[in-house]
Chains A and B, each alone.
Chain A
Amino acid sequence: MSTSTQAGPALVAGPASSKSKRKDSNLRKWAEIIIFVGPALVVFVTFVIVPVIQAAYYSLYRWNGVASLNNISCSSPERVRGTSCFNGLDNYIQAFTDPDFIQAIGNNFFILIASILIQGPLAILVALLLNRKMRGRGFIRAAIFVPYVLAEAIAALSWSLLLSPRGAINSWITAIGLPAPSDGALGDPSIALWVMFGILTWKYLGFAVLIMLAGLQSVPEELHEAAAIDGAGWWKTQWHITLPLLGPTIRIWVFLSMIGSLQLFDMVWVTTSGGPLNSTNTMAVYMLKNGQTAPGYGSAIAVILFAISLTVALVYQRFAMRRDLEGAITRGVR
């Protein structure tokens, strides 16, 4: 044992090693593997895999989360009122027949589409303009990154103070002679979702600009020079050369932005809790509002949220990111 410990596995494979030595080193290898992977695996399985499976399981029950789970059907006459019961897909049916939840899904997709159509081009434009040697470039980059560094809940708090009915922004609107929304910009159901989108753009534009700038680093300078020699103007160069080469970065940003839009929670929870009149409600906010006292129903919402995210991700990867992702997942392991 002691010799094999010192020799290490690379030498054991040599012709001199005996069978028992090899067995020893094999044991040792497995011991190392278990000691090294074990802790991570236990934590990961316990706190990620198990709860995800539980979510699917709980979603089939009517349950308050405290009492033990009963397998009696909810429609069975033997069922005691107030206890948990198995109600199959009823939670899902209830979710899809609740107009509030349908509206929440719609709001998530509104944010998703508006982000791609408005934040994306805006970020690319800012990145293109900033992608040159200029005075104060580092400062500019740091400044537009400030909102992204703040915790979403803290940013949300700042904006709800600024946008409150008697807050600064309302008083500025009044000062320039326009009618200010009397319940604050986030209190008016007709504009609240757009305002929410504005806050999210403020928060996440810096991140988008940053990764676009990182992507622009990989566009060779020579191509711009060649295009200029061929007589292409700045806009033409950006449109025909830079943008296509920025493609992979843009596609990854779109992917991250979509997933983020579908999971949106902190910002909405802190500013409006989904109100007024559900106008800013999202799937995750709806889940937490309804799920804390009814984890069965909340879990069904979680499963729907997951299914929607996964579908969007898979469809997008299938059609847009196929080239970028080829081998990306398996690249690490030979």
Chain B
Amino acid sequence: MGQQSKTHQDSRTDPYAVTKALSHMAVYLVAIVAILSSVVPVIYVWIGGFRSGVDINSNPGGLPNPWIIDNYSRVLSSERFWGSLSSSVIIGASTTLGVVVLGLMAAFVIARYSFKGRQALYALFTAGLMFPLTVASLPLNILVRNIGLHGTHLGVILPQIAFALPVTVIILVPFLRAIPDELEEAAAIDGTTRIGFFWRILLPLSMPGLVTVGVLAFIGSWNAYLLPLLVMAAGGMPQDSWTLPLGATQFATQYSQDTGSVLAYTAISMVPALVFFLIAEKQIVGGLAGAVKG
């Protein structure tokens, strides 16, 4: 209505006025429904963590009565949670570093060297996209066991790097190609070697691409379940060093009678990912959208 008076139009000259008002309402209705259905389950888990077992059993769908922080303080003071968290951080950071370094080096050669077999090399890496980890998981597990990496961090990190390389190379090669040859020639005239060019010019210029592939690799590693299940759980690693998703599901199985603690453990396990998302929302959203667009 305010808009109409501002533009000095009555509803007869603006045929969309009614439709506009309706669509505004529809938009906010959809937005509210979408927000609630996305967030309510998560919030319920967080609130549930503030309840005692007796409270939950007597009224599973209600609010805490009374609110207690025992569950959270117990989880936060357990070695198990911090062990899982640091394990997830170590594996996520190592995977990201490995993918970025190895992927950049390989993409650099594919993008900026001309040599026999370059096409074949590129095709080999892109072919990796066709093989999801699920398909290779059983032989991979046997391989990891045979080379003595069962039950170690490295046994998760190395396969994760390998399976993240195809998408990394596919994103980085066009990125590195797009840097003009003139820049390389100018650098060469100034006496810079190709390696020097790589360090001083290519690396800074390809930062946005590196952030994208790094964020994708980190999220993939942070959320991974199947590989840690095979390498860590079946590999006999102590539960204190399992990654968060694996540790949380194990905690839930082990303490299934103590629903409050399980809710608290689950709730706290969500926090790192949500904090990371809040910090890096732009990179994550941009990275995913960019990766999807190819």
C-alpha gap A150/B277 in the complex (Å): 10
The secondary-structure label for the interface of chain B is helix
Which residues of B line the A interface, CB within 8 A?
Answer: 16, 19, 23, 26-27, 30-31, 34-35, 37-39, 41-42, 44-45, 48, 57, 59-62, 98, 102-103, 105-106, 108-111, 113, 115, 118-119, 121-122, 124-126, 128, 130-132, 134-143, 158-159, 161-163, 165-166, 169-170, 173-174, 177, 184-185, 188-189, 191-195, 222-226, 229, 234, 244-246, 248-249, 252, 259, 262-263, 266, 269-270, 273-274, 276-278, 281, 284-285, 288-289, 292-294
Q: Which chain B residue shows the least CB distance to A291?
A: B138
Q: Render A1-26 as a binary contact track against B, CB cut-off 8 A, 1 for contact.
A: 00001111111000000000000000
Determine the chain A residues whose CB is within 8 A of the CB of B140 once the complex forms: 47, 51
Q: Is the CB of B137 within 8 A of A149?
A: no
Determine the chain B residues whose CB is within 8 A of the CB of A80 once the complex forms: none
Provide 30 A-B residue pairs closer than 8 Å at the C-beta atoms, listed in order of the A residue: A8-B188, A10-B189, A29-B113, A29-B115, A37-B109, A37-B121, A43-B102, A46-B162, A50-B143, A58-B139, A132-B27, A136-B31, A146-B42, A149-B274, A149-B277, A150-B273, A158-B266, A161-B266, A169-B61, A171-B59, A175-B61, A205-B34, A211-B292, A214-B289, A234-B23, A249-B293, A259-B132, A266-B225, A332-B122, A333-B173
With A32-B194, A44-B125 in contact, do A333 and B294 touch (Cβ < 8 Å)? Answer: no
A interface residues, how many (CB within 8 angstroms): 107
**A86 at interface by CB-CB < 8 Å:** no
What's the nearest-Cβ distance from chain B to residue A56, in Å?
9
**A239 at interface by CB-CB < 8 Å:** no
What's the nearest-Cβ distance from chain B to residue A137, in Å?
9
C-alpha gap A288/B226 in the complex (Å): 9
Determine the chain A residues whose CB is within 8 A of the CB of B259 once the complex forms: 161
Determine the chain A residues whose CB is within 8 A of the CB of B225 once the complex forms: 151-153, 265-266, 269-270
Q: Is the CB of A51 within 8 A of B34?
A: no
C-alpha gap A101/B259 in the complex (Å): 34
Q: Is the CB of A302 within 8 A of B134?
A: yes
**A253 at interface by CB-CB < 8 Å:** yes
Task: Tell me the chain A residues, 254-280 only, with Cβ under 8 Å from chain B.
Answer: 256, 259, 263, 265-266, 269-270
Q: Which chain A residue shows the least CB distance to B20?
A: A234
**A89 at interface by CB-CB < 8 Å:** no
List 16 other contacts, CB 8 Å, given A44-B166, A152-B223, A234-B23: A36-B105, A36-B106, A40-B106, A44-B125, A48-B162, A48-B166, A129-B27, A140-B31, A144-B38, A159-B41, A161-B48, A209-B34, A234-B16, A269-B229, A299-B139, A303-B135
